[in-house]
Structures are given as C-alpha cells and as structure tokens.
Structure 1
Amino acid sequence: MDAQTDMTLARIRCVLVETTHTGNLGAAARALKTMGLSRLELVKPRHPPDAEALARAAGADDLLQRAGTHQHLVGALAGCRLVIGASARQRTVEWPLLEPPAAARLLLAEAAAGEVALVLGRESSGLTNEELARCHYLVQIPTDPAFSSLNVAAAVQVLAYEIRRAWREGQGEQIREDARDLATAEALDAFHDHLARTLAEIGFGDPEQSSRLLMRLRRLFNRARPDWIEINILRGILSAAQGRKTAHRPAAVHQEQEPS
C-alpha cells in the first residue's frame, strides 16, 4: 500500500452519534480496523469506552483510544468535504439516496482530495432530520423490509466492507489462489480406464448402459479438474475396491508429497 492510498483511507472517518451501548463502540472499532479504516469519532456517547468496549474491540483498542469525543455533530464533521449519513428509515424530506457500493466509491473518490465522513446514529432511532441536514447524501443498507433494524456496529461492518471492496477494485487487487498441480490428460485417461475396469469387476451398473455411465463420470471428473494428489487417492480407492492391499500407482502417475 503506497502513501497516497494510506492517506485516502485515513481521511475517511466514521462518526457514531449518541451510542447507548459501549459494546457497540468496540465492535464498530473492530469492524473498521478489519477493513483498513482507522478513524472513529464519537458524538455524545452515553458512556465512554469501558472494559466491555475494549473486549468487543478485540485488538482494535488503538482506534478507541484515539477516537475523538464531541458534544455536537458539527465538531465531529469539522473539515469534511463530503458527509454521508446512514439511516434505515424513510424520511418525510427526501435526501439524495445511495446504495452502499455507490456510497463507498464516492467516499473514496472524495477522500483522495480531503476529509470525508460516514455518520451513523442512535441504536434506537438513528439520525434526526436536523443531523441528516448536515449530510450531502443518505445511504441505506437494503435489508428485509419485514425486519429492517440493523445493529449499528453491524451496519458499520457492512459499510466498511463496501469501502474496502471499492478500494480493492480501484487498486486492481484480487484474491489469488495458489496454483494447483493439476493432473494431465493422460493421467485422467489412465484413471478412467482404471475406473471402468473396477466398475466391471465389482459388478456396478448395467453393462448395456456402461458407456453412458462412464461418459457421465468422465464429465463429472472433468468439471472437478482433480490434481495429482487427488488422482492418486482415487486410484488407491479403486485398487482397494479391486481387493488389492496397496494402492495401484502406475509409473506415469506424478508423485507429490502432501503439504506439511
């Protein structure tokens, strides 16, 4: 991560307004830190962070220790060029509404140039209309209308994840799996020959339908794309089914040690 990326993420602050339960403070701090965010601002929390908050933070204690505490929302938003408020309730006054992915992209785009804030309200009632009036946009997490109440720390996690996902897309970052040592075409052919012999020996299936059965099995294993270890295991199972004491390992079969 380069310095500019560090600065972009560091300019995104999460503002929690009048939280009631200290556990939510810790859970929110943990949610932010797992997604690479480091700014937490508190507006008139009913109780300051305590032992429960530290326990729920689970290693994100530093975010709680650095969190600013403010008497008014305006202080928590000082210097912000963009403010997005989160609310589950429909409002009588319409605000520009964003889905979480769009809100995340906008926060990142604006954070490249200056400070931005994501504001979440009280556990019981969310943000007031007066507080939303200080927001440029409103973001809603699309929950089930029959039960739309979402814990504030859970909402922080959802929105922080969307920010992380948008940031990763902007960086071109992808989760890459380790390359598998796939079995070759000839190894698969040898396996299918062994499978056909074993099925015949144990009397499995109708001989008149064997060609269709074998074709379906070939399609099955082609979809699975087994690696060398898996092919050796399958050949060993077939050998055991044939009544042999040891697995059949033809010379052409690739040998590989299981990872320790």
Structure 2
Amino acid sequence: MSTDPTSGLSTATTALTSASDRIRVVLVGTQHPGNIGSAARAMKTMGLSRLVLVAPERAPDADSYALAAGADDVLAAAAIHPTLAEAIADCRVVLGCTARSRRIALEELEPREAGVRAVRDAQGGGEIALVFGRERTGLSNDEYELCHAAVHIPANPDYSSLNLAMAVQVLSYEIRMAALATAPAAVGEGERPEPPASHAEMESFFAQLAETLDAIDFHKGRAPESAMRKLRRLFLRAQPDAREVRILRGVLADAQRMARLAGERGA
C-alpha cells in the first residue's frame, strides 16, 4: 500500500484547479487600490486567480502591487468591466457577500455553504462569481438583486469590522477546503445533460416575464416589485437550463400575443 503523503494532495490540487478555473472574485467599486492588491494576495494563497474589477474608483497602481506581495500575475490578468451585469453575464451562480441585512430577500448562505456550492457547480461546468461590494457601503440594492444568494460572514456582532481582503480570504479559504474535500470520483457526478441557463439568459427571461405580467394586467394596480422578487427567487431556485428558459420564453411570447389580440378586439 502506498504511503506517499503527496498522492492525495496532488489529486486534491487537481480538483481545486478544476474548480478555480471557473470561479471568479468580483470587486465592485473598490475605493482603495491597495485593497485590490491585498485581495489578489488572499486569492492566490488559496489557489484562486480570476480577479474581476467593476468600475473601480482608481485602477491598480504601485500600492496594489506592493500589497499583492507576489500575486502580480493575478493583478495583471484582472478584467475590468463598467457594470456588474456585464461582469457576471455568463455566470451560472452569483454569490453576493454582504455585511448588512437587506429588504431584498435572497437565499442566505454561510461561508462554508457558499464554498461547497461554488465548488460543486464549478466542477459541474458552471461559471461562478463571488461578488464583493465597496469598502464603506457594500453593494447597491440594484447590484444585490443581480445575485442568486447572499453570503454573510458570522463575525463578532460587537466588532464585525472585516476589511475587503479579509472577506475575500475567508471565502477563498472555504472554496479551497471544499475542493480539497471533493473525492476525485465525485467530480462531474450528477452533472446535468444541459447546464443551467446563464445569468444573462435568466435576466432576459425576467425582463420578458415583467413585460408579460404588465401586458396581461397581472398586478391589478398593485406595485409589481414584490411579485417579481418572489418570482425571481422561485425560478433561480429551480435553476432551469437554457432549453427550459427558451420554452418559458415561448410561453410568454404567446401570452403577449394573445394580450395584444385581446386589446385589438376590445378597441
């Protein structure tokens, strides 16, 4: 029997690489360039390399590279997008890290649960995003609504001050632990014949759903926001694949057509 302690580590590292290739850390509106470098360092120590910046107040600079402490490759390869929607358009799962309670109800995950989910879905072929907001104010409500679930780090309530890089470190660690715990035979098990729809496909579906509900007067004068939030949660929980979304959009298109015909007959 082999007693080589590196054999299991090598297999686990392969599992981590498979997952990390599909996991991106997205920093939104970062105010201090040094925090970008510290976040890159936190990622690299846990085997993550895909850094995405959304409308940073200042681009990475000398302070960023100094605080990256050798994670220069992560910084240099960072993609920059003007909006969060563009940065996550191709993602299957978007996890928003937040330090405060919200009126917008999302599924809530602890960091360990988030790490397991991210690795599982990444190994199944999906693109995964961990989204972190601004240092002082976090994510806006509009940005938060683009996420599929919320991640809250259960820090000391009497002193819950975690800086951006610390939060990135906690989530990156949980991802590494989830990947290291993944048995090689389990990689790809349960993989669906067709992967769930991308973030962009789901957002297009939600836009058409909102238009259709208006066309059939579903809300009856009530504010549509509450119903749409509940419907978003329902469909995101179901994780329809791209083919299923196309079928749903076909149903909506027919409903819109019938609403137009009814309107023309009543005119």
Query: TM-score, structure 2 length as denominator?
Result: 0.62
Aligned to 1:166: 178
| Aligned-pair identity (%) | 51
- Superposition deviation, residue 74 in structure 1: 1.0
Aligned to 2:24: 13
Deviations 1:145-169 (A, max 9, x none): 1222210111000110111111111
CA distance in 2, matches of 1:131, 1:38: 23
2:20 match: secondary structure: helix
Aligned to 1:153: 165
- Superposition deviation, residue 78 in structure 1: 2.3
- Superposition deviation, residue 93 in structure 1: 2.1
Q: Indicate how the Cα distance of structure 1 residues 53 and 103 shifts in structure 2: closer, same or farther if over 3 A, else same.
A: same
CA distance in 2, matches of 1:111, 1:58: 28
2:92 match: secondary structure: strand
CA contact 1:123–1:152 (8 Å) conserved in 2: yes
Aligned to 1:142: 154
User: Over alpha carbons, which structure has the higher Rg?
Assistant: 1
- Superposition deviation, residue 132 in structure 1: 1.0
Q: Indicate how the Cα distance of structure 1 residues 74 and 20 shifts in structure 2: closer, same or farther if over 3 A, else same.
A: same
CA contact 2:98–2:138 (8 Å) conserved in 1: yes
Amino acid at match of 2:100: R
Stretches of structure 2 that go unaligned for 5 or more consecutive residues are: 1-9, 185-267
Deviations 1:180-223 (A, max 9, x none): xxxxxxxxxxxxxxxxxxxxxxxxxxxxxxxxxxxxxxxxxxxx
State whether structure 2 residue 81 is matched by structure 1 residue 58: no
Amino acid at match of 2:68: A
CA contact 1:88–1:149 (8 Å) conserved in 2: no
CA distance in 1, matches of 2:42, 2:16: 19
State whether structure 2 residue 131 is matched by structure 1 residue 128: no
Which residues of 2 match residues 75-86 of structure 1 at below 5 A? 75-86=86-97
CA distance in 2, matches of 1:150, 1:97: 19
2:99 to 88, 93, 104: 88
CA contact 1:18–1:44 (8 Å) conserved in 2: yes
Higher relative CO (Cα under 8 Å, sequence separation at least 6) belongs to 2
- Structure 1 runs of 4+ aligned residues shifted over 6 Å read none
CA contact 2:92–2:127 (8 Å) conserved in 1: yes
Amino acid at match of 1:10: D
CA contact 1:16–1:119 (8 Å) conserved in 2: yes
CA distance in 2, matches of 1:4, 1:168: 7
Query: TM-score, structure 1 length as denominator?
Result: 0.64
Stretches of structure 1 that go unaligned for 5 or more consecutive residues are: 173-260
Aligned to 1:70: 81
